[in-house]
Homo-oligomer: A and B are copies of this chain.
Amino acid sequence: MMRNRRVVIVGAGFGGLQAAQSLAHSGADVLLIDRHNYHTFVPLLYQVATGQIEPEYIAYPIRTILRRFSFNYRRQHHKPQVQFLMAEVEQIDFSGQIVKTAKGAIDYDFLVLATGSRTQFWGVNGAEEYAFPMRSLEEAVALRNHIFSCFEQAIQESDAAKRQQLLTFTIVGGGATGVEMAGALVEMLRGCLRRDCPTIDFGEVKIILVQSGDRLLVEFPKKLGNYTYKKLHQLGVEVYLQTRVSQLTEGFVHLDNAEIIPCASVIWTAGLEANLPGVSEELPVAHKGKIVVHPTLQVLEHPNVYAIGDLAYVEKNGKSLSGVAPEALQQGVAVARNIQQQIRGKSPKPFSYFNKGRLAIIGCYSGVGKIGAFAFTGFLAWLMWLGVHLVYLPGYRSRLLVLLTWLHTYLGSDRHVRVILSSKTMSVLHRPADLPYLQESR
Chain B, Cβ-Cβ closest to A159? B441
Question: How many Å lie between the Cα of A434 and that of B54 in the bound state?
Answer: 23
**Chain B hits for A138, CB < 8 A:** 421-422, 425-426, 428-429
A146 touches B431 (CB 8 A): yes
A152:B55 contact, CB within 8 angstroms: no
The listed residue (B55, B162, B165, B422) touching A419 by CB distance below 8 A is B55
Chain A residues 155-208 with CB under 8 Å of chain B are: 156, 159, 161-162, 164-166, 192, 195-199
Bitwise interface map of A from 41 to 75 toward B, beta carbon under 8 Å scored 1, else 0: 00000000000001111010101100100000010
Q: Known contacts A37-B152, A417-B56, A423-B433: does B74 contact A198 (CB below 8 Å)?
A: yes
A134-149 CB contact bits vs B (8 Å, 1 = yes)?
0011110110011011
Confirm or deny: A418 has a beta carbon within 8 angstroms of a beta carbon on chain B. Answer: yes
Bound-complex Cα distance A54 to B400 (A): 15
Contact between B401 and A152, CB atoms less than 8 A apart: no
A289 close to chain B: CB less than 8 A = no
Q: How far is the CB of A53 from chain B (nearest CB, A)?
A: 9
Complex interface: stretch among A77-85, A227-235, A339-347, A384-392 = A77-85
Looking at the assembled complex, report how far the CB atom of A299 sits from the nearest CB atom of chain B, in whole angstroms: 27
Residue ID in chain B nearest A398 by CB atoms:
B416
Shortest Cβ distance from A160 into B: residue: B441
Q: Is A435 an interface residue (CB 8 A)?
A: yes
Q: A153 at the A/B interface (Cβ < 8 Å)?
A: yes
Complex alpha-carbon distance, A104 and B158, angstroms: 11
Contacts A196-B63, A430-B426; is A439 near B56 (CB within 8 Å)?
no
Contact call B145/A196, Cβ cutoff below 8 A: no
CA distance A425 to B432 in the complex (A): 11
Task: Report Cα–Cα, A67/B425, bound state, in Å.
Answer: 26
Say whether A251 faces chain B, with CB atoms less than 8 Å apart: yes
A150 within 8 A of partner (CB): yes
**Count of A residues near B, CB < 8 Å?**
88
Q: How far is the CB of A191 from chain B (nearest CB, A)?
A: 11
CA distance A150 to B437 in the complex (A): 12
Question: Given the complex of chains A and B, what is the CA–CA distance between A80 and B85 in angstroms?
Answer: 53
Q: In this assembly, does A250 line the interface, its C-beta being within 8 Å of a C-beta of chain B? A: yes
Q: Once bound together, how far apart are the Cα atoms of A85 and B152, in whole Å? A: 8
Task: Decide: B431 and A423 in contact? CB cutoff 8 A.
Answer: yes
Report A292-307 CB contacts with B as 1/0, cut-off 8 Å: 0000000000000000
- Chain B residues, Cβ within 8 Å of A431: 132, 142, 145-146, 423
A421-B61 contact, Cβ under 8 Å, with A103-B156, A145-B429, A430-B426: no
A326 to chain B, nearest CB (A): 25
CB neighbours of A161 from chain B (8 A): 441-442
Return chain B residues, CB-CB under 8 Å to A142. 428-429, 431
Q: Which residue of chain B has its CB nearest to the CB of A65?
A: B196
Specify which chain B residues have a CB less than 8 angstroms from the CB of A59 in the assembled complex: 419
Instruction: List, in ascending order, chain B residues with CB within 8 A of A262's CB.
Output: 441-442
| 4 smallest beta-carbon distances between A and B, as pairs | A161-B441, A250-B437, A63-B196, A61-B418
**8 additional contacts, CB 8 Å, given A55-B419, A79-B198?**
A54-B57, A63-B196, A63-B197, A83-B199, A139-B428, A421-B429, A426-B429, A427-B430
Residue ranges of A at the interface with B (Cβ–Cβ < 8 Å)? 35-38, 54-57, 59, 61, 63-64, 67, 74, 78-80, 83, 85-87, 103-104, 130, 132, 136-139, 141-142, 145-146, 148-150, 152-153, 156, 159, 161-162, 164-166, 192, 195-199, 250-251, 262, 264, 395, 397-398, 400-401, 404, 408, 414, 416-435, 437-439, 441-442
